[in-house]
Structure 1
Amino acid sequence: MQIHLAPMEGVVNARMRALLTAVGGIDRCITEFVRVTDQLLPPKVFYRLCPELLCGGTTPSGVPVYLQLLGSEPGPLADNAGRAAELGAPGIDLNFGCPAKCVNRHRGGSILLDEPELIYRIVSTIRSTVPKQTPLSVKIRLGYRDRSRFLEVVSAVADAGAQLLTVHARTREDGYTPPAHWHEIAPARRQFSLPIVANGEIWQPTDADQCRVDSGCEDIMLGRGLLSRPDLALHIKTREAGNTYRERTWPEIYPLLYELFLDSLETCAPRHVGGPSKQWLGYLRRNYPEAQQLFEQIKRLRTPEDLQAALLQHQQAA
């Protein structure tokens, strides 16, 4: 069983990948998308979104990080995929699932799910450009407005030569409204030999169990669930192995949050230092009452000094 960390734009960057993979249970990460239009991008763009390229293409824990591309032009996408491979990306991932309106307006992400022929051209062009030893994966949703072309899209991805497909089990129209329709993945799983990873609404180990039953997929991708419970992947893997797992308590999780804050002190402008910590607390408070309390304490704090004082005070109280 493989568990992948979802490429959540504006949330799962390199420092978050490092923190979450350090907990354990994650087998693969994917970067936030590199937006490709009509030109070959300079290496600095790839290094900014995937600094792991400077360290063998893995997180500090040794988990490989695939570089994700988003666009609609086969030629430029292939050129940039080739560059990513040259820079040492362990794999290339293509984003045909992003539901953001600003992305879709510019013919990127999930809007292409209505054009399986174009998806085929993109994937096949990249596959013929990138070295054979570089894996190529694709991420999609069940459809754009509806599911009517889902199997056509899967067929296009498989026929074009991708090695792996991840399916977020909702349409773009569904957004992130529960539930995720895991059972809708099952027909593709039965019809195609292409390995498929199921994604969407996996918040706890029992969700992972049901997702695998309904979808027929062995492997899963975690996003918001892992941000809410950083040990979720480890918990799922431990249960899968038939062992008992003790859930991490807040005093064991909090050091990760404080480490994120310290990183922000070094890498963010002073007015933005608190942003990443508050953002992560927004997810953590789903599972930890202490995170909700801390969020209420710091949500209006602005200066790095005030934020650090509050975080240290919370640490001492915990």
Structure 2
Amino acid sequence: MSFQNKFFASPVRLLAPMDGLTDPLMRQILTQIAVDLGRPYDWSVSEFIRVTQHVLPAHVFYKYVPELHHDAKTASGTPIHIQLLGSEAQLMAENAAYACELGAPAIDINFGCPAKTVNSHRGGSVLLDEPEVLYQIISAVRQAVPANIPVSAKIRLGYTDTSRMDDIQAAIAASGANWLTIHARTKTQGYKPPAYWDKIHAFNSLDIPVIANGEIWNAEQAQACMQQSGTKHLMLGRGAVTRPDLIAEVRKLDLELPQTDSMSTPELSWQTLITHQIKFLQGTAKSDVVLVGRYKQWLGMLTKGYSEAQPLWNALKREKNKAAIITALEATSL
């Protein structure tokens, strides 16, 4: 099957997997906004599911990806690919196969997570120093997963530096991966700007699609990323949370419309975004404490994208009562 024809017939625009940020509730909100704007994401990737000692029970997959109950799509119809993280090839393969039995439309493998706790347990970006392990994991998963289901990988440019980029590229080339997403920084560089989009260019010699990710906060940076990386495919991360209408601005580039043509780009007003913030607070979480904490995380990020968010943040950052926060939001929308 030609996955390139099926998934990459045109430039893809993806919502990134971000642990502790793009959980099922945030995915639901952000993909709904994109659909409402008429500029949907092609797909999103789940937060990573940690694979350690055994094949995970179904309820774990459903916890991280409740969309599996609904044809692996959000309420707005955006497909969700399942991301796994681990270091044991056979165990990763067995879990990937089971995820497919549960309805996963694609499997993504995380080799990019920079978290110390993950790396110290030999997961995520630390494996970029062991390209042979990358190869073993991806190839084992590819062999275990049905041929009609794609297997992809997400990496960084390296662990402490970029000295092993050629080895990483060779491992990916031999592994049977169907596409590759690259966050254009090393683990050591974390999330500090800049992103080194130009270093992605070398991976375009692979005979698979390459998706660029990292430090895309606006349309101008999206354009620069595509030019410097040499790939037209983009994954949007923190910028998509800070400006939920970023996807519409990026889609505008696909239409080759001038950025000054405001009539051609659907606009997400702050008033409309308020309604989505209320829906977020009315969503499902382990507890109201967790939900309020998650909302404040989002509101803090929104202050970087909307001037209207700052006074709201100042008023609510110490508020712990969910009902009081919803009341405050409703008052601002009057």
Q: Same fold (TM over 0.5)?
A: yes
Question: Following superposition of structure 1 onto structure 2, how do residues 102-251 of structure 1 map, counting pairs within 5 Å?
Answer: 102-189=117-204, 191-243=205-257, 244-251=264-271
| Cα deviation code 1:170-217 (max 9, x no counterpart) | 00010111000000011111x222210000000000101000000001
- Match of 2:260? none
Residue 111 of structure 2: which of 96, 102, 114 is its match?
96
Residue 83 of structure 2: which of 51, 65, 68 is its match?
68
Larger deviation, residues 19-28 vs 195-204 = 19-28
Contact 1:26–1:234 (8 Å) recurs in 2? no
- Match of 2:5? none
Describe the shift of the 1:106–1:305 C-alpha distance in structure 2 as closer, same or farther (beyond 3 A).
same
Q: Report the number of matched residues.
A: 313
Residue 281 of structure 1: which of 252, 274, 299 is its match?
299
CA distance in 2, matches of 1:201, 1:95: 19
Question: Following superposition of structure 1 onto structure 2, how do residues 17-32 of structure 1 map, counting pairs within 5 Å?
Answer: 17-24=27-34, 25-32=40-47
| Cα deviation code 1:137-159 (max 9, x no counterpart) | 10000000010111211221221
The residue identity in structure 2 corresponding to 1:35 is R
The residue identity in structure 2 corresponding to 1:284 is L
Contact 1:239–1:245 (8 Å) recurs in 2? no
Where 1:273 maps in the other structure, the secondary structure is helix
The residue identity in structure 2 corresponding to 1:54 is H
Larger deviation, residues 224-233 vs 244-253 = 244-253
Unaligned runs of 5+ in 2: 1-10, 35-39, 258-263
CA distance in 2, matches of 1:310, 1:23: 22
1:304 equivalent in alignment to 2:322: yes
CA distance in 2, matches of 1:277, 1:59: 20
| Cα deviation code 1:108-159 (max 9, x no counterpart) | 0000000011110111111111101111010000000010111211221221
Describe the shift of the 1:18–1:273 C-alpha distance in structure 2 as closer, same or farther (beyond 3 A).
closer
Contact 2:179–2:210 (8 Å) recurs in 1? yes
- Match of 1:16? 26
Contact 1:23–1:234 (8 Å) recurs in 2? no
CA distance in 2, matches of 1:285, 1:242: 29
CA distance in 2, matches of 1:249, 1:65: 27
Report the TM-score, using the length of structure 1 for normalisation.
Answer: 0.96
Report the TM-score, using the length of structure 2 for normalisation.
Answer: 0.91
Q: CA deviation at 1:168?
A: 0.2
CA distance in 2, matches of 1:174, 1:106: 20
Larger deviation, residues 299-308 vs 221-230 = 299-308
1:33 equivalent in alignment to 2:48: yes
% identity of equivalent residues: 43
Contact 2:241–2:301 (8 Å) recurs in 1? yes
CA distance in 1, matches of 2:225, 2:269: 26
Q: CA deviation at 1:252?
A: 2.1
Contact 1:4–1:26 (8 Å) recurs in 2? yes
Contact 2:13–2:234 (8 Å) recurs in 1? yes
